[in-house]
Amino acid sequence: MVKLSPSVLTADFLTLKNDIERLEAAGADMLHLDVMDGIFVPNISFGVPVINSIKKHTNLPLDVHLMIDRPHRYIKEFAAVSDYLGFHFEAGSPVAETLKEIRNLGCKSCLTIKPCTAPEQIFEFLPLCDMVLVMSVEPGFGGQKFMPEALNKLSILRAEINRLGLNTELEVDGGINKETAPLAVNAGAGVLVAGNYIFASPDMKATAKEIKALK
């Protein structure tokens, strides 16, 4: 079954606890938390204190997506409040060492690639990844349209993960909706990040159920 990881960046932060409870009731499998520093991406979101507060009020796994420059500098702090901890291949950290550190700190490791990065560039790191995240939009802002070239990247990564016999999960983030979700799943994605599509739905539970039922 497909996993749903709603992005809380779309939530109302004044009533964030209520929105998280709505996501739990809708059947979300984890919560996607976008950490942005205004350097690696042209936007700023939140950091460890907010994630720690969220962690106190939910049993859902926290899928933390670091969109920050040289993330290896902050792995220990974020690992303390994360279940999945991911960073960008392009962000200037030693990739293998950072993935190993995440695992050593008790988190599941995730490596993320931007639309400009070929999937073959991360093949050597797949055995160190519990999850790989393919961005189907330019990272930094919500509400962007799905980039169809992400589908080929998902297919290539799924084929290589299968060839290596790994249990690595494959996640996609950006522009996920009723039309693009089935395409992403058909291309090999097993975890879908959705923000606007979930929060704007008149029936969040029905929308989540529809996504999770994809095969």
Q: How many whole angstroms separate alpha carbon 95 and alpha carbon 98? A: 5
Cα-based angle 14, 40, 187 (whole degrees, multiple of 5): 85
Partners of residue 86 on adjacent β-strands: 65, 110
Q: Which of 46, 18, 44 is nearest to 32 (CA)?
A: 46
Q: How many whole angstroms separate alpha carbon 162 and alpha carbon 181? A: 21
Q: Which of 43, 42, 40, 19 is nearest to 31 (CA)?
A: 19
Residue 29 is a catalytic residue? no
Helices 16-26 and 204-212, interaxial angle, to 10°? 50
Encoded tokens for 82: 């994360």
Residue 34 is a catalytic residue? yes
Q: How many whole angstroms separate alpha carbon 70 and alpha carbon 87? A: 9
> Regarding beta strands 62-67 and 84-88, do their DSSP bridges make them parallel or antiparallel, or are they unpaired?
parallel
The catalytic residue among 29, 34, 37, 63 is: 34
- Catalytic positions, please? 34, 173
